[in-house]
Structure 1
Amino acid sequence: MTDSIDLTGATTPPSAPEAGSGDATRVVYGTPVVPGVAWAPAAWTRRPPLPPETAPELPEDQREQGVADFERAAAEVADGLNARAEAATGHVAEVLAVTASLATDRAWKREAAGRIRRGTPPVQATMAATEKFVELFQKAGGLMEERTTDLRDVRDRVIAHLTGEPEPGIPVTGHPVVLLADDLSPADTAGLDPVNYVAIATQVGGPTSHTSIIARQLGIPCIVAARELAEIPEGAPVLVNAHEGSLTLGVDEAAARALVADDADRVARIRAWRGPGRTADGVSMQLLANVQDGAGAVAAAGGQAEGIGLFRTELLFLNTQVEPSVDSQAGSYAPVFAAFPSQKVVVRTLDAGSDKPVPFATLSEEFNPALGVRGIRTTGQNPDLLVHQLDAVAQAAALQPGTDVWVMAPMISTIPEARWFAGLVRERGLRVGIMIEVPAAAILIDQFLAEVDFVSIGTNDLTQYTMAADRMSPHLAEYTDPWQPAVLSLIARTAEGGMEAGKPVGVCGEAAADPLLACVLTGMGITSLSMAASAIPAVGAQLARVTIEQCRAAAAAVVGAEDAGDARNRARSAFETAPEEAPRQD
């Protein structure tokens, strides 16, 4: 081989060097989610201390003004988050919009206003109302529990407006730091500048948490679920190896800088890579972008994306209390199609429910929303919603006839569902597919493929449902890892079914953005990989360094792995011992 392939892009796997100056090294491990190596002082971020829970009763003649002050503060917080959402793209925009919706939640605002009218000062009423809903979210569990971080973040911002203080946020240091936190809210993560925040590590979170997904979009090395992170003191120089998931104290500065420089070579290769996606021996792999609006599509078109593999349509629905008209929807879809006038665009129909409640589409209260009315199941509550959306997609597609529009439905679980959806889409002259997120669909993949033109694997939810572990839970990162052998087995089964049927099988979950896993998926027979546009060069550059036979050897090697870590190690070992590379097709 021309290089020893370790699938990080470096010639040898970077590892912690020996300590310098007589100091002993201390290593803290977590789950790696965004690869990279960094060395800088640690900077902790923690939520600001709360005011006292009790305060003198608010005089009766000041209570209505107190309500007005609270409502003004909540509106200012929502406006600020919405403005940041509009200026952002990808998952950043989506999670900021969802967080903003918490600041305008009627039940939460009603609870706080009621307490103020009974004499509780606005600050204490905000705190009490928030804790009431935090308890409700925690009892609901699942994705609702994950939103407690977001709600408390909204609380702290509202309190800041009420007290005339700046909104809380991450520390501003003026020099590069490794950002450490118990957890980070989406609003905090979305504002990070990769120049000053060279790596992120959190004590909780998982591979598909908001922090992980946003860090991946921003290209910041990230480790989550580092349980012993608190042992790293403020200001201590720390070497972050987000390829293997380690944070090391007591590293010699020269050795640390050498490892960072080696990783910088990997980054340089990524920045120099140009599509299309293909292996070293010229086998094509379609690399597509995940987007949520026209601005995101335009940005993706300006990069290396060969099309759109996941057009999330939820953003239009999250910001309204009533169903958008067909014309309004078509107007939002048209710019996405126009950004790729002669390429593939895969539209996912509304994936409302669970962590993305939509007032007119989902139930207001569900005991376990992740297993409830979401995705295609919302048609039971609002049968016309899907029909209207498909009409809007067809209308927008007619305005850009060169675009290759594909449409897929989320949360398909039964053959009749797939057959019914396929009929609706084909009536409108579009290619039809389904998401493979529910294990039932992967198990019966041959029967599902007989009904549709393509499938796309949503690894985030497939992992969640296969492992019976909420993908947003801060305590279950080791279970919600797409490298789990059972998940890889279902992906391989789906890919094999696609090859036998001669139909495309894509992956559009976060697993597609992992360069090592992307090569394994290629070896399984996956035909396209869709991810945040910013992640495409890293995946493309890595694919360009391996042959299809190496990918197949790695795919075979993960069979029989005991857990996610074992699967990763087996894949890396397979690439190191695989046959020589074919000549590069440059």
Structure 2
Amino acid sequence: MTNQVGQPTTPEVADEASTEASETATGSITTLLPDSVTGTGVVPGIAYAPVVWKQGRPETLPHEPDVAQEDRAQEAAHLETAVETVAARLEDRASQVTGVASNVLSATAALARDRGWKRAALKLVKGGTPAPQAVVAAIAQFITTFEKLGGLMAERTTDLRDIRDRVIAELLGLPEPGVPTPAQPSVLFADDLAPADTAGLDPSVITALVTQLGGPTSHTAIIARQLAIPCIVAASKIGKIADGTRVLVDGGAGTIQLGIDEQEGARLVAEDAARREAIRSWRGPATTKDGRDVELLANVQDGAGARKAAESQARGVGLFRTELCFLNSEDEPSIEEQTGIYSEVFAAFAGHKVVVRTLDAGSDKPLKFANMEHEENPALGVRGVRIGLRDIELLTNQLDAVAAAAAARDEDAETPAWVMAPMVATIPEAKRFAQLARERGIKPGIMVEVPSVALLAPAFLEHVDFLSIGTNDLSQYTMAADRMSPHLATLTDPWQPAVLTLIAMTARAGADADKPVGVCGEAAADPLLACVLIGLGVTSLSMAASAVSGVGAQLAAVTFAQCQEAAEAVLSASDSASARERARTILG
């Protein structure tokens, strides 16, 4: 299916495309195209290139006849083979990349093999439904369920649709849907992008990403940051822009402009390239223009990611996402197995700070050996430390492994292992976690994701040694908005003054208690927001290793007084857009 200007679309946006077609029926498309479209900018940078749309899903015949009784076993086998082919292809891609990209591809491969949707599809086939229609119907059931659950589970619907389209293409003998390979550098447009689409992108060919859906913490945004590709999400009005149209994408401002002169576009890209080169050549140390020291750390997910991060200017690890090591594990890993995995990260940053987050299982990161079987709203359910305190052996085993891995690293290391619990909401939870960590000689801290912790930060700091703010979830819970919803992207923007006010309260409590308060959410990777966070009193910033030099270069261009002035200005702003603009005016 294509819309009125020729780019592929999906049934989910077909109605919108029809509406747009009727709007243009009385005039030429060219004259009705907007001069610019605005979305949510998530990765800064400038790109000027023609648009290339993601290839749409394969079409299936709406009224294919039932499969004859004698052919149903063969049709079921055909379906199983197609599913396994798609899953194996995803696993192969996962093996060719590292870090977050590898983990999300592996998780998507596991979802492709999920017994639940496959069982539903096979049941339909055995009842006579052709395999392609059975896949559509079975996955539609699960998409509806996930959407009803809301919260972070909604992010999985993009993965399910991607699996559906790949399996159908395999069944029909069609080319695999997804990202095309353009002959020239291009800007990729899409309704949405699944991990399988973004993980293998070549930044020399795809110079920017723009999606109609998605949010600032979606897989698309996270992987785009890792690849340092300018990225805009939730740009709902790009549907009228056809393949081949030259656009200027500003990932920082969140704008897509049409009608830009080629010479002007080239000039702006060159200026951005010079800025990026200055960022690439930045070697630290991380200080403001007037010499105030700033601790920049890396977010990692395994030993390979840690070794790559160690090549950057990051001073240590501010967030080791341990749950990403075990997404495909059927059973709880042994203490010895966990120790081996954690040791790789400690070895990569021998002698430096390493902050380990205990399993943040649940919601969008289900672990088969840890999760509740069913919850009505998993984002507000038993996740994070709530699982650990419910299954205390799961938590103590992990703490034992962290302690063993820390003990095995460089004996001259002056910094003990730091460990923090996610989704803490009450003081007794923090107190119990701190007790368990200290019994093992580990420095205890907690994540600030639930507003109750920010509101009572002084009381929490009586029991733990540090706080680390997870801006992704803090934004979601503060603004009562699903962080995966493209319709609510402006609400879950970490520039929201209410979110920044909670960060300021937390940082102030840390200063009063003389204990560090860091930020490890995606907000830390925004160079402009990083300056504001430092001005608010945050003591460390942890981010994807690829973002460290950009943040460091920005900090080096401003004084601490400017950071404080910008921080004061954003707290009195009325919304995220005005907060961002106030900071931009002060910081440049």
TM-score after normalising by structure 2: 0.92
Residue 576 of structure 2 corresponds to 564
Which residue, 528, 538, 546 being the options, matches 2:540? 528
Query: How far apart, CA to CA, are the structure 2 residues paired with 1:171 and 1:503?
Result: 50
> Greater CA deviation, 459-468 or 84-93?
84-93
Which of residues 164, 180, 186 in structure 2 aligns to 1:177? 186
Aligned to 2:470: 458
Within 1, Cα distance between the matches of 2:364 and 2:533?
28
2-structure distance, mates of 1:416, 1:424? 12
Residue 424 of structure 2 is aligned to residue 412 of structure 1: yes
| Distance of 1:100 and 1:563 partners within structure 2 | 40
Q: Is the 8 A contact 1:90 1:290 kept in 2?
A: no
- Choose the corresponding residue for 2:480, options 468, 478, 496: 468
Amino acid paired to 1:349: T
Answering whether residue 309 of structure 2 is matched by residue 307 of structure 1, we say no
Kindly provide the amino acid, as one letter, of the partner of residue 334 in structure 2: S
Q: Is the CA contact 2:58–2:174 (under 8 Å) kept in the aligned structure 1? A: no
Which amino acid in structure 1 is aligned with residue 174 of structure 2? Answer: E
CA distance in 1, matches of 2:284, 2:523: 20
Superposition map of 1:18-33 within 5 A? 26-33=35-42
| 8 Å contact kept, 1:23–1:250 | no
What letter corresponds to residue 121 of structure 2 in structure 1?
Answer: A
Output aligned runs, 1:100-249, within 5 Å: 100-249=109-258
Question: Which of 242, 253, 260 is the equivalent residue of 2:262?
Answer: 253
The 2-side partners of 1:399 and 1:65 are apart by 55
Aligned to 1:284: 293
Residue 45 (structure 1) aligned with residue 54 (structure 2)? yes
Whole-angstrom CA distance in 1 between matches of 2:32 and 2:218: 35
One-letter code aligned to 1:564: S
Aligned to 1:491: 503
Alpha-carbon distance between aligned partners in 2 of 1:471 and 1:334, rounded to the nearest angstrom: 33
Q: How far is 1:275 from its partner? A: 2.4
Counterpart residue number, 1:7: none
Alignment root-mean-square deviation, CA: 1.7
Secondary structure, aligned partner of 1:475: helix
Structure 1 residue 298 and structure 2 residue 332: aligned? Answer: no
Structure 2 Cα separation of the partners of residues 198 and 163 of structure 1: 32
How big is the shift at 1:41?
A: 0.7
Query: Could you tell me whether the CA contact under 8 Å between 1:54 and 1:124 is conserved in 2?
Result: no
In 2, are the aligned partners of 1:455 and 1:504 still within 8 Å (CA)?
yes
Deviates more, 1:346-355 or 1:327-336: 327-336
Q: Is the 8 A contact 2:340 2:405 kept in 1?
A: yes
**Code of the aligned partner of 2:474:** L
Separation in 2, partners of 1:389, 1:24: 55
Whether the 8 Å contact between 2:389 and 2:395 is mirrored in structure 1 is no
- Distance in 2, matches of 1:356 and 1:45, equals 27
Q: Give structure 1 regions of 4+ aligned residues with deviation exceeding 6 angstroms.
A: 22-25
Range with greater deviation from structure 2 (88-97 or 392-401): 88-97
Letter of the 1:140 counterpart: L
The structure-2 alpha-carbon separation of the partners of 1:390 and 1:538, relative to structure 1 and needing over 3 Å to count, comes to same
The answer to whether 1:95 aligns with 2:107 is no
Given the superposition, is the C-alpha separation of residues 259 and 525 from structure 1 closer, same or farther in structure 2, using an over 3 Å criterion?
A: same
Aligned CA distance change for structure 1 residues 158 and 49 (closer, same or farther; 3 Å)? closer
Runs of 5+ consecutive residues of structure 1 not aligned to the other structure: 1-21, 577-586
Asked if 1:365 is matched to 2:377, the reply is no
1:422 is aligned with what amino acid?
A
Aligned to 2:400: 391
Q: Which runs of 5+ in 2 are unaligned?
A: 1-30
Any idea what SS the aligned residue of 1:353 has? Answer: coil
Separation in structure 1 between the aligned mates of residue 174 and residue 390 of structure 2, nearest angstrom: 44
More divergent stretch after superposition (73-82 vs 437-446)? 73-82
Q: Counterpart of 2:463 in 1: which secondary structure?
A: coil
Deviations 1:373-402 (A, max 9, x none): 110111355231111111111111121142
Alpha-carbon contact 2:55-2:177 (below 8 Å) kept? no
Q: Is the 2:444–2:464 Cα contact (8 Å) retained in structure 1? A: yes
Q: Identify the structure with bigger relative contact order (alpha carbons < 8 Å, sequence gap 6+).
A: 1
Q: Give the number of aligned pairs.
A: 555
Aligned-residue offset at 1:160: 2.4
CA distance in 1 between counterparts of 2:521 and 2:94 reads: 22
Q: Which deviates further from its counterpart, 72-81 or 343-352?
A: 72-81
Secondary structure at 1:255 match in 2: helix
Q: Please, which moves more after superposition, 418-427 or 79-88? A: 79-88
TM-score (norm 1): 0.92
Q: Pick closer, same or farther for the CA change 1:123–1:529 going to 2, 3 Å.
A: same
Deviation, 1:175, is 0.6
Partner Cα distance (2:228, 2:235) in 1: 19
Q: For the structure 1 residues 487 and 110, does the alpha-carbon distance in structure 2 shift closer, same or farther, using more than 3 Å as the test? A: same
Q: Deviations over 1:215-263 (max 9, x none)?
A: 1111010111112111222211111122211111111111111111111
Q: Say if 2:215 and 2:483, in contact at 8 Å, map to a contact too.
A: yes
Shift of the 85–275 alpha-carbon distance from structure 1 to 2, 3 Å rule, reads farther
User: Cα deviation per residue 1:480-522 (whole Å; 9 max; x = unaligned)?
Assistant: 1000000000001111111111111110000000000001111
Q: CA deviation at 1:116?
A: 1.7
CA distance in 2, matches of 1:70, 1:318: 25
In the aligned structure 2, how far is the partner of 1:51 from the partner of 1:147?
Answer: 23
1:335 equivalent among 344, 357, 365: 344
Please report how far the alpha carbon of residue 43 of structure 1 lies from its aligned counterpart in structure 2 after TM superposition.
1.1
Aligned to 2:447: 435
**2:573–2:579 Cα contact (<8 Å) kept:** yes
| Alignment-derived partner of residue 85 in structure 1 | 94
C-alpha separation between the residues in 2 aligned to 1:480 and 1:528? Answer: 22
1:506 equivalent in structure 2:
518
1:264 aligns with 2:264: no
Amino acid aligned to 1:574: I
Higher deviation after alignment, 481-490 or 400-409 = 400-409
The answer to whether the 8 A contact 2:306-2:348 is kept is: yes
**Corresponding position of 1:581:** none
Distance 1:82 1:130, change over 3 A: same
Go from structure 1 to structure 2 and tell me whether the alpha carbon gap of 1:23 and 1:72 turns closer, same or farther (over 3 Å shift). Answer: closer
Deviation at 1:56, TM superposition (A): 2.5
| Cα deviation digits, residues 195-216 of structure 1 (max 9, x gap) | 1111111112111111111111
Q: Give the aligned residue type for 2:354.
A: V
